[in-house]
Every structure is written in structure tokens, then in C-alpha cells.
Amino acid sequence: MLFLMIIAALALLLLGHSYWPSSTFVHEAFENIGVILIIVCIVGRTWCSLYIGGRKKATLVDIGPYSIMRNPLYTFSFLGAFGVGLQFGAMMTGLLAFLAAYGVFLFIVLREEQFLADKFGAEYNAYLARVPRFWPKISLWSSPDVIEVYPGRVWRTFYDALVFLVSIPLLEFIEQWQDAGIIPVYYYLY
């Protein structure tokens, strides 16, 4: 279902173009900010996997990025989705991509929270009360000097996050076809 929603959204976006022409400062600035956010997403998701990779359902992870927010992997995915949306050269598509990712992951988070509450009980409830869901509370930072890392999990998260990079050449290709008149443009996005 999610895959079909993504395909439908991309099909709809194919018919629209940034209000700002492709070579303008504003258009390029949105795209460049998007690239930076995609890189932050990839690095952030990989960093989070150092702490949670291989442990997600076995133990309550409340160290490192998980000490300052409960869902840092998803938060970095929101940034990546926003960055992908900005590849259209418009703020509106960035915001729509962010909101779509937020909606999808919120549904997943609510299910995960129920699972973790059932599995870890009072310990998880205390964690819920102390640590925010998505917005980091830096003052809570806590990390041991040494952590056990599962390299295979870290690499898998890194490779999965690289999918965000695919948006860059794909959307540049679409933009070129729109600019050449091969793909018609029916509306403009700010």
C-alpha cells in the first residue's frame, strides 16, 4: 500500500514543476539544501544503527541518540524525506514529503510503542515519560564509553539509507525532460 502511495505521489509530481526555473538561485538552493539533508539522513541513520543494530526487540536501547529521543532513526528519515522533496526545487514538495514520512512513521511508531510497552513494562513506561518521541532533548544525552556494534546491521542500515540518494539523479532527469517539453507541466509548486 505504501509503495502504491509513493508511486501515485511521484506520478502526480511528474506533472508539476518548481515555480522557480531550474537554473535560478532559489531552485538550486532548495536542491542543495536537500542534498545536505539527505547526507545528514544517511550519516544519522548509520550512527543510530551503531547503538540499536541487532538489539531492537531484545533490549530497551536508551543510550546514545536513543537517550535524547525515542526514534532517532525515523527522525533522520524525516530529514531525508524533506531533502528528497526539496530535489523538486520547491519548499512545498519538501514539506509534503516530510509530512508523508511523518504520517507513515507515526503509524509504525505507535505499533512499536505498544510492543515495547508489553515487552518491557514499567521500564519502557519510564522511558516514555522521560524521553521525547521525535524531537531531541540534548540534556538527556547518555552513552557508555564502549558499545557492542554489529557491523552487518550498521552496513545494512547504511545501504538502505543510500536509497535517498537515488532521488537526486532521478529528479534531475525528470526536471530535464520537463524543461525540454517531453513531460508536460500542468502546475507549479512554490
pLDDT (mean) for 111-136: 94
| pTM of the complete model | 0.88
CATH topology of domain 20-189: Four Helix Bundle (Hemerythrin (Met), subunit A) (1.20.120)
Please state which of the ranges 11-15, 73-77, 127-131, 150-154 shows the lowest mean pLDDT.
Answer: 11-15
The grid cell for 34 is 536537500
Q: Does 8 score more than 90 pLDDT?
A: no
Distances from the Cα of 75 to the Cαs of 64, 80, 115, 179, 187, in angstroms?
A: 14, 9, 20, 34, 30
What are the sequence ranges of the domains in the chain?
20-189
The grid cell for 47 is 550512527
- Least Cα distance to 76 among 50, 103, 42 occurs for 42
Residue 1 is predicted with a pLDDT of: 59
